[in-house]
Structure 1
Amino acid sequence: MIHPAGKKVAVEKGKTLLDAVKQLAASEETSVEVPCGGLGLCGNCRIRVITGRMQPPTEAELEALSETELQKGYRLACQAVVTESLEVGIPPESMSSPPDLQTAGASITVAPDPIVKRYGLRLRESSLTNPKSCWQQIEHALASEHGATVSRIDAELIRRRNPLARETTVAVSVADAEVINLHTGGNPPPLAGLAVDLGTTKVAGYLVDLSSGKVLASDGVLNPQVRCGADVITRLAYAGDSPQHAGQMCRMARECINHLADTLTTRAGLKRSDIEQAVIVGNTAMQHLLLHWPTAQLCRSPFMPASTSPLLIKSRELQLDFAPGAQVYFLPSVAGFIGGDHTAMMLATRLDRSESVTLGFDIGTNTELALCCAGKIYCCSCASGPAFEGGALRHGVRAVPGAVSRVRLEADGQVRYQTIGSQPAVGVCGSGAVDAVAQLVKNNIVNSAGIMDEHHPGVRPGGEDAPVEFVLVSADKSGTGRDITLNQGDINAIQLAKAAIASATALLLSTAKLAIKDIEQVIVAGAFGSHLGLGSAISIGLFPELPRDRFAEVGNAAGTGARMALISAAERREAESLAAKVTVVELATHPEFGAVFSRSLQFPKPAAQTEFP
């Protein structure tokens, strides 16, 4: 029995509690966070055993759980093996709640010029005196009435439609000289397309009227692959374990897109089969997993993608249930882990057209950077890890209701905080963690090396089974009944993540022979970047120290770029041109990377007090 779902699940002896929860998660909105992919490294999948006996804790559990927690029945779901009937409860902080998934992005005007064109035709009834099928009549009418040359008709469309014609009007959709869909009657649905930003954590979808460019519906959902790991490296390792795991990751992504398409079309009063064109952008790993491409070469140097070229395939090849002949277009990747989502971000922000020196960040579990100056584009990617999205933190959660998102320390030592939705605190998300670290550094509770002062009155000293930690929310005020803290390991996780981005920034500038002072504009893309406290990010060295008015937050620019490529053939050509002219800076082989990264680990000296925005 698993609470709070109140459901019984049958699992074989020898399976883990995580296997039981995953089985339940397939049919219920109940799951647990496993950022490490179930390897026992993160300690996020705590479950409390209410009744029943279990084997002794593993070494991973002894490392992650305190003696008090073990006495209360807490175990790690990924480690605890089921040997008999049990009753367990998933605490709130372990549950995978629907996060605050941003879909809003940069606003840009693009003249619609979609690949798919819609034509209205009138057919005559097939007869002995008019021995022509509807397809023969359509091909002739398209050429004679609209000057549209058609060289083929989608085979699946022919299979689904009766070739005998009757006296009627039809609306025919044509893409790349191929008839891909047919609507009978006088009131066809809008010419609909779907743009998808397939992110490591979130999947954002936009249902678009291709004729006008208007967004008919948009939404964001959690990428179901998070059950198998919070970051791309963990997921690639999981997929590489076996063909079954690779297939599972592929199915998860495809089913997620189908479900998202269902949600959006229902909201717009359409059907999923009305989608006649789609554009999908994602980082290199996400694209490989969706396409079921080989991934082994991505896991070792020189980290080569199977392909970086743009791709146009039938939606049915991906088991995406759209219109019979619907196509899916993938923007080109740049290289390595600089994927099509970064190309989309550059397209949406017009980085290459800026006359000023512009630095662009697309922050996520994998962060991409672009530096544009004097007509040149320099790009790199860095593994910033899941800390900015709440992963790898002791009490980390995603941007869910109740997540601590803003933190400030008052002069008297009191902690002032805000939570998403003003709900009781259940954990701390990425923006809250960055705020908290900035405040701890500001108040000399954490030094420039990232070490917490154990003697500070606000710090709880560590013991044999407890790390040094700072209490953000006391148990009596939290929504979990437990203290919500930031410990030394959490500080180090944020430190490593910010150092990855800061060192990438430094090496891009060095390659272009520029200094921080030369940067005239900074564009911050990505959902996390939009929630981030800019002052805190600058104060810990995540962003370069520049005047605030040089920063612009543009939201989900990758999603905007996907929409642009969806409604305009010219924008696709622009995206392909952009990807081709990028100079890639490989951080792993850069001779100065080690030294620069080491310096970037340091926190800058405390600056002015960070206020809530």
Structure 2
Amino acid sequence: MLHKIMILEKWRKAMDSYVNGTVKTDEKTISVRCERGKTLLAVLRENGILLSAPCGGNGTCGKCRVTVSGAVSAIEAQEAHLLHEEEIEAGIRLACMCRISGDFMVSIEKAAMRIETDYRAVPYDLSPMIAKKKEGDMSEFYRDGILVERVLGDAANLGLAVDIGTTTVAVYLCDMETGTVLATRAFRNPQAAYGADVISRIDKIMKDKKALAEQQRLISNAVREAGISACGERGLSFADVRAAVLCGNTVMEHIAAGIDPSSIANAPFTAPTLFGAYYSAAELSFLENEHSILYFAPCFASYVGGDIACGMIAQGLDACADNVLYIDIGTNGEIGLSTRNGLYFCSAAAGPAFEGAHIECGMSGISGAIDKISLKDGKIVFHSIGSGTPLGICGSGLIDAVAVMLETGLLDETGRIVERDEAGKYAAYIDEDETGASIFLIDKEHSVYLTGKDIREIQLAKAAICAGIYTLLDKAGLSLSDVSSVVLAGGFGSHIDKASACRIGLIPRELEDKITAVGNAAGAGAVAILLGGSPREAARTICDKSDYTELSGDAYFMEKYIEEMMFE
């Protein structure tokens, strides 16, 4: 009897350590049960509710804002420093720093994100990864001439092309018989809850080996859901998806394949694999059909991934073009140079500033983000996504903001924001923070501004990318005048004002008239590999004719990097 009482007492204490909570999002309201003492961010992750946390939940970025009521920990100094007084009064907390002490309610507003799915690509002949033949009342499916599946009736032959970006994911449902894209889906990468950049996500994996399986589960489930949704839109069955091509940076591909990428973050920064490989549906959980296959695009190096290979293939730059620069601006600014003598690549560690991370009022390209800033009739004007109340500023807006500051003299060549008495007729756009340092007021009414620290983040990012461009040209024995064109790839590249990019020194000014934005080139390449024989052959051979430069130990790069820190 005493033993039973002891067991019941342990059970009661265990139950007392759990509390109830309600989580409201734009789409749904759910009830959760969790242990006391856990952070809200941990509770949300455990229940499949994804909240962006650019710093990975380390309490440094201040972006994981939620509205909370109920029994939670008191706000402490670090959290209070990252929030405005009116936010604290409204019950807004940082999910990574707010701990559960009793029953609670949390509300999360999810704004729609601007994600690029359109693209431009060179043509190719249709020769799908899986070919279909009709034999009597059976549909037969072949890969490289080998029968892999027989189905009764006239079954569809579908494929998925997936671009797994660090921030966003694009999925293309394709008819492999006709070569057409039937539907697209685009969404935030759910792994963003583990950090805005690949290093943050690797850090989580290094600290907790369960994090690898969790991040892999998040992306595979999200792709499956997107594929099911796209098939449903066209009245098709997800079971008829027989092949998928996945591309992403090297870390994203490792996580998607369930391979630990930790070695990429530690010297000598070697990737366990560079892919260009097929997997069966049984090995990974992206597809439903047990006979289906997945192809992971080849990566050039630890920090130049399959997304760049796919983008280069989509633009026909794998065949050694006439001195064409290919630039994908992101956390790792990946740069390619296609010449008659071969392909050159590098990865410039730009940091997540252009994703809105490490910027005081920074945010992703979602509704409410200021995305365009310009001078009009002597006034600084801006546009926000959705044309609603400005909530912060995204990457394209940051580039415009710095360009306008340089144009108006509010920023000097060293990156110093001038004081109000130096600003002349633009003095109203300068204020001071609590330390007395100058800040640039973009929207005073809604407290959207840039600090000196923000400018430094942008300087570091733009200097890395521009120096990377010069380094590749030097390796190829070329100058700026030898460049015939510049391909700006990725969703972010589609929204950048090229004049602003050149004004701040992100791209050399001499190249401004040669810049063309091509949209989601990586997604275009994944579609091409799925549907075309020549793109698949290009994917097989592209790494053999490439020369990768590791910038961290390159003396020429370091020299140019220091030079390009300055503004002209």
Specify if TM > 0.5. yes
Distance 1:250 1:227 in 2: 13
Distance 1:395 1:10 in 2: 33
Q: Which residue of 1 aligns with 2:455?
A: 491
1:415 aligns with 2:375: no
Distance 2:226 2:130 in 1: 22
CA distance change for structure 1 residues 344 and 589 in 2, over 3 Å: closer, same or farther? same
8 Å CA contact retained: 1:236, 1:295:
yes
1:459 aligns with 2:430: yes
1:18 corresponds to which of 29, 41, 45: 41
| TM-score (structure 2 length as normaliser) | 0.89
Matched residue type, 1:39: N
Instruction: Give 3-state SS (helix, strand or coil) of 1:471's partner.
Output: strand
Q: Which residue of 2 aligns with 1:99?
A: 113
Matched residue type, 1:487: T
- The structural deviation recorded for 1:9 is 3.9
8 Å CA contact retained: 2:202, 2:265:
yes
Instruction: From the CA coordinates, give the structure whose radius of gyration is larger.
Output: 1
1:340 corresponds to which of 295, 300, 306: 306
Instruction: Give 3-state SS (helix, strand or coil) of 2:560's partner.
Output: helix
- The structural deviation recorded for 1:361 is 0.4
Write out aligned runs for 1:84-483 (5 A).
84-90=102-108, 95-122=109-136, 169-185=137-153, 187-189=154-156, 191-353=157-319, 355-410=321-376, 412=378, 414-455=379-420, 456=423, 457=427, 458-464=429-435, 468-475=438-445, 482-483=446-447
- The structural deviation recorded for 1:51 is 5.3
Matched residue type, 2:358: A
Matched residue type, 1:46: R
- The structural deviation recorded for 1:271 is 1.1
1:54 corresponds to which of 55, 62, 73: 73
CA distance change for structure 1 residues 547 and 237 in 2, over 3 Å: closer, same or farther? closer
- The structural deviation recorded for 1:71 is 6.0
- The structural deviation recorded for 1:66 is 5.3
Matched residue type, 1:572: R
- The structural deviation recorded for 1:291 is 1.0
2:95 corresponds to which of 53, 77, 80: 77
- Larger proportion of strand: 2
8 Å CA contact retained: 1:331, 1:572:
no
Distance 1:274 1:512 in 2: 46
Matched residue type, 1:526: G
8 Å CA contact retained: 2:125, 2:534:
no
Moved more, 67-76 or 401-410: 67-76
Report the aligned-residue RMSD: 2.2
Q: Which residue of 2 aligns with 1:125?
A: none
Distance 2:268 2:455 in 1: 31
8 Å CA contact retained: 1:180, 1:323:
no
Offset from partner CA, 1:46-88 (integer Å, 9 cap, x none): 3455555633515x32542456655665432211222234455
Moved more, 214-223 or 587-596: 587-596
1:37 corresponds to which of 56, 70, 88: 56
Q: Which residue of 1 aligns with 2:527?
A: 563
- The structural deviation recorded for 1:211 is 2.2
CA distance change for structure 1 residues 539 and 13 in 2, over 3 Å: closer, same or farther? same
Q: Which residue of 1 aligns with 2:4?
A: none
Offset from partner CA, 1:444-485 (integer Å, 9 cap, x none): 111111111132422111114x8642222233xxxxxx4222
Gaps of 5+ in 2: 1-21
Distance 2:75 2:384 in 1: 37
- The structural deviation recorded for 1:228 is 0.8
8 Å CA contact retained: 1:98, 1:222:
no
Instruction: Give 3-state SS (helix, strand or coil) of 1:36's partner.
Output: coil
Distance 1:39 1:446 in 2: 31
8 Å CA contact retained: 1:35, 1:44:
yes
Distance 2:71 2:273 in 1: 51
Distance 2:75 2:150 in 1: 63
Offset from partner CA, 1:507-564 (integer Å, 9 cap, x none): 1112122222222211111110011111100100001112543111111111111111
CA distance change for structure 1 residues 548 and 284 in 2, over 3 Å: closer, same or farther? same
Distance 1:20 1:459 in 2: 41
Distance 1:392 1:570 in 2: 42
Poorly superposed stretches of 4+, deviation over 6 Å: none
8 Å CA contact retained: 1:44, 1:394:
no
8 Å CA contact retained: 2:480, 2:511:
no
Distance 1:399 1:53 in 2: 31
8 Å CA contact retained: 2:72, 2:99:
no
Matched residue type, 1:448: E
8 Å CA contact retained: 2:120, 2:521:
yes
CA distance change for structure 1 residues 285 and 547 in 2, over 3 Å: closer, same or farther? closer
Distance 1:65 1:98 in 2: 23
Offset from partner CA, 1:330-353 (integer Å, 9 cap, x none): 121111211111111111111244
Gaps of 5+ in 1: 123-168, 476-481, 605-613
Matched residue type, 1:459: I
| TM-score (structure 1 length as normaliser) | 0.83
CA distance change for structure 1 residues 7 and 467 in 2, over 3 Å: closer, same or farther? farther
Distance 2:380 2:343 in 1: 43
Q: Which residue of 2 aligns with 1:573?
A: 537
Matched residue type, 2:112: P
Matched residue type, 1:360: Y
8 Å CA contact retained: 1:179, 1:325:
no
Moved more, 39-48 or 348-357: 348-357
Distance 2:372 2:209 in 1: 43
- The structural deviation recorded for 1:566 is 0.6
8 Å CA contact retained: 2:361, 2:450:
yes
2:475 corresponds to which of 508, 511, 519: 511
8 Å CA contact retained: 1:231, 1:386:
yes
8 Å CA contact retained: 1:57, 1:75:
no
CA distance change for structure 1 residues 352 and 572 in 2, over 3 Å: closer, same or farther? closer
Distance 2:509 2:440 in 1: 27
CA distance change for structure 1 residues 21 and 468 in 2, over 3 Å: closer, same or farther? farther
Distance 1:74 1:205 in 2: 34
- The structural deviation recorded for 1:278 is 1.1
Distance 1:547 1:307 in 2: 35
Distance 2:106 2:246 in 1: 39
Matched residue type, 1:40: G
8 Å CA contact retained: 1:403, 1:427:
yes
Task: Tell me the matched-pair count.
Answer: 539
- The structural deviation recorded for 1:592 is 2.8
Distance 2:69 2:380 in 1: 34
Identical-pair percentage: 31
- The structural deviation recorded for 1:401 is 2.2
8 Å CA contact retained: 1:33, 1:96:
no
